[in-house]
Amino acid sequence: MDALSDNALMLKVKNGDVDKLGLLYSRYSKKLFGFFYRLTHRADVSEDLVQNVFYRILKYRHTYRGEGQFKTWIYHLARNVHVDQFKKNKRYHFSENHEFLEDKMEQLPATDEEVMKRQETALLESALNRLPEEKKEILILSRYQELKYEEIGRILNCSEGAVKVRIHRAIKDLKKMYQKMEKEGIYGN
């Protein structure tokens, strides 16, 4: 994907050619859905949040200056949309998605190696979900969104080096959370 092309498209949208937003949507909607889904574990909520991001692009398109990358701009919007959603419905974050993961793990039969691997993944997903929001977010941005560390730095307003350090510490915390959950035998295995 060519970031300059994204910028050129967004500048056209800014200048009134809003049909070009369809192209940007086709490039980013699935990635954003994945970003929100990993944060919320709710497909319906994630679809609404994607819709909110593109609604905000239309609404605030006049603020787009085309100086930076479109990719970092859209993730800025996505983070704001998620924070707003988080403020609106805190309870959903701390309970509903946990229940969802527990259900998911209980549905897996523990018989062979393949299934055990799936259980490990589910446990890791559950551990990821129990991390503080900022740690979970930096892992999602770095592992799944195909963003460079420099781009993540622009999104999170920090240096590239700081991004790497924060990622490593988030990985360490995730590992600790995983081990703790495994030790407590919360989800079997």
Partner 1 sequence: METEKFEEMIIDFINGEIGEAERVQFLEHLANNEQSQEALNSALRTWEGLKKIEVPEPSPQMDNNFYQMLNEHKRAETEANWLELLFDRINLIFHNRNFSRYALGAFVLLIGISGVYWLNMTNKYEDQFQMMTGEIQEMKSMMMVAMLEKESPTERLKAVSLTREMADVNEVVADALLNTLNNDENDNVRLAALDALYQYGNNPRIREGLIKSISNQTSPLVQIGLAEVMVSLQEKRSVVEFHRLFMDGVVPPEIKEEIEKNIKVLI
> Considering the complex, what minimum distance in angstroms separates the CB of residue 18 from partner 1?
6
Check binding of 25 to partner 1 (CB under 8 A): yes
Name the one range near partner 1 by CB under 8 A: 14-22, 64-72, 84-92, 108-116: 14-22
33 near partner 1, judged by CB under 8 A: yes
Per-residue exposure over 139-175, b if at least 16 CB sit within 10 Å of its own CB, e if not: bbbbeebebebebbbbbbeeeeeebeebbeebeebbe
Q: Tokens 């593109």 — which residue? A: 54
Contact range with partner 1 by CB under 8 A, out of 1-9, 33-41, 67-75, 81-89: 33-41
Q: Is 164 in the site for partner 1 (CB under 8 A)?
A: yes
Q: Is 100 in the site for partner 1 (CB under 8 A)?
A: no
Of 42, 166, 29, nearest to 155 (Cα)? 166
Q: Which of 22, 63, 65, 83 binds partner 1 (CB under 8 A)?
A: 22
Q: What is d(CA 79, CA 15) in angstroms, rounded to the nearest whole number?
A: 25
Contacts of 94 (CB under 8 A, 6+ apart): none
Pair 78, 144: CB distance under 8 Å:
no
CB of 175 to partner 1, least distance (A): 5
Q: Which of 29, 100, 131, 189 binds partner 1 (CB under 8 A)?
A: 29
Tokens matching residue 162: 């700081």
Does 98 bind partner 1 (CB under 8 A)? Our answer is no
Can residue 34 be called a binding residue for partner 1 (CB under 8 A)? yes
How far is 39 from 41, CA to CA, in rounded Å?
Answer: 6
> Please, which of residues 43-62 interact with partner 1 by CB under 8 A?
43, 46-47, 50-51, 54-55, 58
**∠ CA 97-116-123, rounded to 5°:** 25
* List of residues contacting partner 1 (CB under 8 A): 18-19, 21-22, 25, 29-30, 33-34, 37-38, 43, 46-47, 50-51, 54-55, 58, 117, 120-121, 124-125, 128, 139, 143-144, 149, 161, 164-165, 167-169, 171-172, 174-175, 178
